[in-house]
Amino acid sequence: MKSTSSSTLYLVSVPIGNSRDITLRALDILQAVDIIVCEEIKEGKRCLSTYEIDRDVLPLNEHNEEEQTESILNMFAEGKSVALISDAGTPLIADPGTRLVQRCIEKNIRVTSVPGANSILPALQLSGFSVDSFLYVGWLSPKKELRQKQIRELKNEKQLLVILEAPYRIKPLLRDLKNIIGSNRMAAVAFDLTTDKETVYRDTLGTLYKHFDRNPRKGEFVVILQGR
């Protein structure tokens, strides 16, 4: 097992679906660090158990981010090494942890990335669109009026748009995209990426909305929307 550097924060990517999509370096780091930080303890331990990794796990989420960040900084002062993982995929992308990274930078604590799986790039690859340039939008608001305002602001964007959505909000999102941007705008909706159930639907917003209205699906969705 390779050793880790003391007082270092490792940003470690973990699989999004297929458990084999983890790097050898990520496994080395997770085996060697003193503490592993994740968004939810249950999800973090489930991921680590897949690789028979037994390490202390701390939660870092929207409810405790400020307090927990300071606790982790104290660990660095003791010379400990820490790995931050996401529930799935790459840390910090639509996930907590930015404050921790910023505080580490402020205090000259080493921060390094251990890259790997994420949902954005596979969805782009599978969309069928030219992906030379794209705009990562992330999560739109769950509140209808604010979400619609955000979509109106994106309506004339020329770049490919990448939008993330939760299982229970895909239909309202597609409805608002269709109504505001137009039924004929092309898009791709990807979910269950890297798994045996991996699926990508490619069609107009109008057709995609009708499909998901008639065939509700569960999963974490990535919507790739063609620019104007």
Looking at the chain, which runs of residues are DSSP E strands? Answer: 8-12, 35-38, 56-59, 82-85, 110-114, 134-139, 160-165, 186-191, 199-204, 221-225
The answer to whether residue 31 scores a pLDDT higher than 90 is yes
In this prediction the pTM is 0.91
| Domain match, 110 and 133 both | no
Domain assignment present for 1 = no
Among candidate residues 114, 146, 164, the one where a domain is terminated: 114
Model pLDDT for residues 162-190, shown as the tens digit of each residue: 999 998 899 999 999 999 999 999 999 99
| Domain match, 150 and 102 both | no
pLDDT of residue 94: 86
pLDDT of residue 35: 96
| Domain match, 58 and 80 both | yes
For residues 153, 157, 162, 163, the Cα torsion angle rounded to the nearest 10 degrees is: 20
Among candidate residues 70, 86, 114, the one where a domain is terminated: 114
Domain assignment present for 3 = no
| Domain match, 58 and 37 both | yes
The answer to whether residue 2 scores a pLDDT higher than 80 is no
| Domain match, 140 and 171 both | yes
Domain assignment present for 34 = yes
pLDDT band at residue 216 under the 50/70/90 scheme:
confident
Domain assignment present for 2 = no
| Domain match, 68 and 130 both | no
Domain region containing 34: 8-114
| Rg, the chain, Cα only | 19
Q: What is the mean pLDDT of the chain?
A: 95
- Percent of the chain beyond pLDDT 70? 99
Among candidate residues 82, 114, 146, the one where a domain is terminated: 114
Given the structure tokens 């690859």, which residue do they identify? 125
pLDDT band at residue 3 under the 50/70/90 scheme:
low
Record the tokens describing residue 168, joined without a space: 């229970």
Model pLDDT for residues 115-125, shown as the tens digit of each residue: 999 999 999 99
| Domain match, 139 and 199 both | yes
CATH number assigned to the domain comprising residue 172: 3.30.950.10
Model pLDDT for residues 9-19, shown as the tens digit of each residue: 999 999 999 99
Model pLDDT for residues 34-78, shown as the tens digit of each residue: 999 999 999 999 999 999 999 889 999 989 999 999 999 999 999
First-residue to last-residue Cα distance in the chain: 51
pLDDT of residue 151: 98
Record the tokens describing residue 107, joined without a space: 């205090």
The answer to whether residue 197 scores a pLDDT higher than 80 is yes
**Number of domains observed in the structure of the chain:** 2
The answer to whether residue 126 scores a pLDDT higher than 80 is yes
pLDDT of residue 1: 52
| Domain match, 54 and 82 both | yes
CATH number assigned to the domain comprising residue 29: 3.40.1010.10
DSSP 128-160: -S--SSEEEEEEPPSSHHHHHHHHHHHTT--SE
Give the Cα-Cα-Cα angle 202, 208, 209 (nearest 5 degrees).
165
